[in-house]
């Protein structure tokens, strides 16, 4: 494995950062502005993809920017795991930017320049988190992401969004400053380094109780991952415009949280230390709890976006669950679920948004009969649902299959039950919507309405079709991502 000095990771981060002044300066020409977003997104994706072959060959790209203290620097390092995450984020950024153009214009939202600027900043931070070489850098981008998404979450600037924004900040900032920061500095204090390495940074400085406390501080501290009881910001943040919910709260923000936990478990503690102290089980219990409770709550939600939010909470814990299995299959299944869930969930959010723009309906109970009027949207919804539930022919099946194999491999077959039960629950809260859409007759009052309901505009429909198609493609060709994980974790 070679480490190659490269400026590309920095460029990938900078592109969407540097486009912000351009966006601001072209705020009165929406078309110019939006084409810049698109260009920035494409360039980011191209830069990310250009690094792919090198990474697949088992190399790493690295760049140290600033050394803050010995062993703690602001540095980038691209490995398989980071690459996987960056590809997901960058490709979905493009899709979402198209979608958000349609959505924001469709609803004539105010402050669009502010919206796209912070959106770009958030993407920049997400890519930065993906390419972080150490915990300090990761923490930095994590915090930037938290703050950059605040104006997105509270975009409507009304009382409701203020309250949600407050909750968002309290949970996200409170946990990261209150738990992660001391834990991180303690790690640094003990070991003198924060570099991620597959062997972990601790040799034998940590006793089991200390390691447990530290691990829990990290797991709960990265509250973006939505581990209960620090999950309630996520449903609250659904007041945001749907593209924000879609990209940030189904993909970027929450996945950064999960990604951070994965990094800490595999790069800071190391699989070996965790299995020696048997800490995987602890995390698994926490994750299982979140999986089951999240799914149950999702069942009872009538507002579509909230149902999706709770579904996200439980699906995120699948990823952590998989990593906590500490077996190769489990790790593979968990991490690849980042990809599968991202595409599946973003399809679902896109559909929710498209339905809202086209019909103004937010609640599941109102959606009877819509499927006939919006066939593309509801078909895509169906595919997205399959992907999240984990049924073939969608990418979700691949990850869940590996997770189940992982439980067997790690000899934790009791936990297999959790996965199965939860998958049933997933099916229960998604499939009825599809059923309603296609097979139930719409309510009387709707028929009386003079406005004819049809598909939303193209800017909304194309992205959701694309992401739905990718969800299916991933079932047949997950190889790239699998290889990236294998390269990244040396399994």
Residues that bind other proteins (CB under 8 A): 65-69, 72-74, 110-111, 136, 139-140, 143-144, 147, 151, 154, 157-159, 161-162, 165-166, 169, 173-174, 177-178, 181-182, 185-186, 188-189
Q: How far is the CB of 129 from other proteins (least distance, A)?
A: 12
- Say whether the peptide bond before residue 413 is cis (omega within 30 degrees of 0): no
- Say whether the peptide bond before residue 469 is cis (omega within 30 degrees of 0): no
Q: How far is the CB of 149 from other proteins (least distance, A)?
A: 13
Comparison of 73 and 314: residue with beta carbon closer to other proteins: 73
User: How far, in Å, are 41, 162, 472 from residue 158 at the CA level?
Assistant: 30, 6, 39
Q: How far is the CB of 31 from other proteins (least distance, A)?
A: 21
Q: How far is the CB of 157 from other proteins (least distance, A)?
A: 5
Q: How far is the CB of 8 from other proteins (least distance, A)?
A: 20
Any idea which residue has 């309405």 for tokens? 449
Comparison of 162 and 491: residue with beta carbon closer to other proteins: 162
DSSP state of 443: P
Comparison of 165 and 270: residue with beta carbon closer to other proteins: 165
**Rounded Cα gap, residues 46 and 12, in angstroms:** 9
CA-closest candidate to residue 390, choices 316, 340, 346: 340
Q: Are 37 and 120 in contact (CB under 8 A)?
A: yes
User: What is the distance between the terminal CA atoms of the chain, rounded to a whole angstrom?
Assistant: 14
User: How far, in Å, are 53, 102, 233, 295, 374 from residue 306 at the CA level?
Assistant: 39, 22, 11, 12, 21
DSSP state of 157: -
Comparison of 256 and 346: residue with beta carbon closer to other proteins: 256
Comparison of 89 and 183: residue with beta carbon closer to other proteins: 183
Count of other CB atoms within 10 angstroms of residue 209? 9
**Tokens (6 digits) for 198:** 């597959």
Q: How far is the CB of 14 from other proteins (least distance, A)?
A: 14
Phi, psi of 110 (to 5 degrees): -90, 165
DSSP state of 223: G
Q: Are 228 and 290 in contact (CB under 8 A)?
A: yes
Q: How far is the CB of 41 from other proteins (least distance, A)?
A: 24
Bridge partners (DSSP) listed for residue 63:
76
Task: For residue 439, give the 3-state DSSP assignment.
Answer: helix
**Rounded Cα gap, residues 234 and 254, in angstroms:** 9
Q: How far is the CB of 110 from other proteins (least distance, A)?
A: 4
Q: Are 471 and 340 in contact (CB under 8 A)?
A: yes
Q: How far is the CB of 256 from other proteins (least distance, A)?
A: 15
Helix axes 253-263, 328-359, angle to 10 degrees: 170
Q: How far is the CB of 76 from other proteins (least distance, A)?
A: 13
Q: Are 80 and 486 in contact (CB under 8 A)?
A: yes
Comparison of 189 and 372: residue with beta carbon closer to other proteins: 189
Comparison of 32 and 162: residue with beta carbon closer to other proteins: 162
Comparison of 101 and 153: residue with beta carbon closer to other proteins: 153
Count of other CB atoms within 10 angstroms of residue 169? 17
Q: How far is the CB of 253 from other proteins (least distance, A)?
A: 16
| Beta strand extents in 212-306 (DSSP E only) | none
Count of other CB atoms within 10 angstroms of residue 474? 25
Q: How far is the CB of 68 from other proteins (least distance, A)?
A: 4
**Rounded Cα gap, residues 70 and 103, in angstroms:** 47
Comparison of 106 and 182: residue with beta carbon closer to other proteins: 182
**Tokens (6 digits) for 221:** 């501290």
**Rounded Cα gap, residues 106 and 442, in angstroms:** 24
Comparison of 58 and 182: residue with beta carbon closer to other proteins: 182
User: How far, in Å, are 33, 237, 301, 320 from residue 362 at the CA level?
Assistant: 30, 15, 11, 30
């Amino acid at each position: 494995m070679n480490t190659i000095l490269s400026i590309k990771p920095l460029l990938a981060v900078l592109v969407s950062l540097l486009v912000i002044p351009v966006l601001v300066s072209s705020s009165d020409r929406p078309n110019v502005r939006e084409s810049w977003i698109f260009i920035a997104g494409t360039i980011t994706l191209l830069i990310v993809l250009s690094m792919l072959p090198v990474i697949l060959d088992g190399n790493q790209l690295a760049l140290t920017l600033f050394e803050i203290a010995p062993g703690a620097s602001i540095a980038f390092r691209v490995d398989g795991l980071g690459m996987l995450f960056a590809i997901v984020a960058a490709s979905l950024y493009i899709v979402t930017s198209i979608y958000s153009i349609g959505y924001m214009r469709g609803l004539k939202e105010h402050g669009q320049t502010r919206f796209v600027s912070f959106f770009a900043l958030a993407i920049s931070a997400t890519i930065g988190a993906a390419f972080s070489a150490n915990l300090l850098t990761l923490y930095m981008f994590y915090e930037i992401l938290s703050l950059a998404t605040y104006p997105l979450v509270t975009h409507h600037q009304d009382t409701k969004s203020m309250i949600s924004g407050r909750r968002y900040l309290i949970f996200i900032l409170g946990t990261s400053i209150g738990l992660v920061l001391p834990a991180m500095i303690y790690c640094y204090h003990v070991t003198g380094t924060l570099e991620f390495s597959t062997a972990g940074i601790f040799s034998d400085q940590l006793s089991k109780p200390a390691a447990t406390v530290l691990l829990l501080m990290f797991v709960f501290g990265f509250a973006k991952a939505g581990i209960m009881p620090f999950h309630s910001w996520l449903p609250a943040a659904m007041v945001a415009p749907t593209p924000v919910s879609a990209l940030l709260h189904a993909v970027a923000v929450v996945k950064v949280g999960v990604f951070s936990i994965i990094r800490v478990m595999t790069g800071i503690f190391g699989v070996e230390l965790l299995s020696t102290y048997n800490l995987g089980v602890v995390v698994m219990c926490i994750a299982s709890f979140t999986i089951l409770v999240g799914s149950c709550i999702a069942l009872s939600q009538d507002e579509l976006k909230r149902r999706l939010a709770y579904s996200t909470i439980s699906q995120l814990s699948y990823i952590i669950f998989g990593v906590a299995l500490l077996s190769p299959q489990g790790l593979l299944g968990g991490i690849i679920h980042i990809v599968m869930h991202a595409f599946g969930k973003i399809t679902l959010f896109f559909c929710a948004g498209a339905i809202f723009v086209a019909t103004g309906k937010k609640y599941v109970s109102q959606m009877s009969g819509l499927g006939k009027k919006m066939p593309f949207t509801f078909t895509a919804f169906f595919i997205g649902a399959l992907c999240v539930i984990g049924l073939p022919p969608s990418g979700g099946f691949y990850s869940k299959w590996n997770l189940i194999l992982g439980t067997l491999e790690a000899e934790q077959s009791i936990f297999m039950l959790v996965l199965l039960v939860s998958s049933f629950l997933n099916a229960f809260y998604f499939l009825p919507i599809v059923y309603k859409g296609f097979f139930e007759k719409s309510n009387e009052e709707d028929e009386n309405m003079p406005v004819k309901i049809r598909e939303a505009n193209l800017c909304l429909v194309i992205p959701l079709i694309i992401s739905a198609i990718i969800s299916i493609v991933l079932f047949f060709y997950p190889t790239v991502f699998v290889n990236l994980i294998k390269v990244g974790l040396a399994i």
